[in-house]
Amino acid sequence: MSRSGGRKLSERDLIAAIGQRPDIRLFLLFGTDPSTIEDIARKLSAEMKDAERLDLDGAQIRSEPALLADEAASISLFGDKRYIRLRLTRDEGFAAIENLLDAAEAGSPVIATTGNLTPTNKLRKLGQSHPGAMMLACYPPTENDAIAHVARLAEAAGLRMDRDLARLVAESTGFDRTLAANEIDKIALYCDAAPDRPATVDAQTIALLSAETLEEDISGLLGAVMAGNIRATSEELSAASQLGVNEVRIVKALQRRVVQLAGLRAEVDEGAQIGPLVDRTRSIFFKEQGAYKQALSCWSSSKLTRLNARLFEIEQRLMSGGSALAGPMLANDLLMIARAANPRGH
């Protein structure tokens, strides 16, 4: 849901406007779903085709509030179209954006992305009220939204895919739009599909090409943290950092792991044996069974409840902060959780 001057906008409206509305100077994307924000920003950039691109960030325009408006009014060295890709952490570019919207000239559109903005945030209010701005709030999709998005991607790629398979792709990619798009591209390539030569996708193909979910990509990190293995946690954190895994997504994956463990722990509290319980839980991959058994031995139901609340606080801090220190801060948080799982450490 979004507004510009009080008018509701859709994602399709926003993307179409960048090529049809020269009066719009600012396209602002914000919210709590980094994947959707980046996906829409890429689509907006794609609409600019071969235009020259200039990248700016919040620190640059905060220290020089006139820079954004000056660059937007500047003409490309070769007279070509240009646009500005602006990355903010929250609203540190407010003065510069205000200058952009109030400037006499601004020929280059600005595609800006940031974190979550509350309804009372001054940048969000400016984007809602100014006729030269369009903005879109991006929040995690519902299951139905994610399935519908996968279905649209499949149709555009020339893939005939029923709803059950679209759900499977959506779930296997953690409702992440970027991962889902990559998965559909991979399936289309495998099937040699295109809009002019459609192909039908079956469950066997999906199984063969199924993407690793985020939990699988960082399963080693999740397992090490919850099992209290501090050395392995440090090593897995380094690997995740090198891969550039988003901090918020790590926390969300850990939250899902904690919820799953809490359900299993409740069965243990009622008398179930940890080993057989994990072995018969079909949602646990065999290679992760050992990590689950260790975690269930480390965490009581009450500790898992407190950890879930703590993870919510960490998630809120990450989504509202957007600091360059997010990675080191989360690493410290996860090491503390690992120590809580096993105070002796190993």
Number of H helices, E strands in the chain: 18, 9
The CATH number that applies at residue 108 is: 3.40.50.300
Model confidence band, residue 3 (pLDDT cutoffs 50, 70, 90):
very low
Give the C-alpha separation, 343 to 346, whole Å: 9
DSSP letter assigned to residue 43: H
Confirm if 95 and 101 have CB atoms less than 8 A apart.
no
Q: Are strands 110-113 and 26-31 parallel, antiparallel or unpaired?
A: parallel
Q: Is the pLDDT of residue 6 over 70?
A: no
Distance between first and last Cα of the chain: 48
* Confidence grade of residue 173 (pLDDT, cut at 50, 70, 90): confident
Q: Across residues 151-177, what is the average pLDDT?
A: 89
Residue 346 lies in a domain: no
CA–CA dist 205, 185 (Å, integer): 13
Residues 289 and 223 in one domain: yes
Answer yes or no: is 264 within a domain: yes
pTM, to two decimals: 0.59
Q: How far is residue 63's CA from residue 338's CA, in Å, rounded to a whole number?
A: 39
Question: CATH code at 171?
Answer: 1.10.8
83, 7: one domain = yes
Report how far residue 230's alpha carbon sits from residue 211's, in angstroms, rounded to the nearest whole number.
28
Q: Give Cα separations from 239 to 213, 295, 334 (angstroms).
A: 16, 21, 14
Same domain? 41 vs 81: yes
Residues 220 and 207 grouped into a single domain: no
Instruction: Give the pLDDT score at 101.
Output: 95
| Mean pLDDT, rounded, of the chain | 86
116 & 222 share domain: no
Q: What is the pLDDT of residues 70-97, one digit of tens each?
A: 999 987 666 578 999 999 988 889 999 9
Tell me, yes or no, whether 228 and 313 share the same domain: yes
**Shared domain check, 294 and 182:** no
Same domain, 62 and 160: no
| Residues across the chain | 346
User: Number of folded domains in the chain?
Assistant: 3
- Which structural domain, as residue segments, surrounds residue 109? 2-138
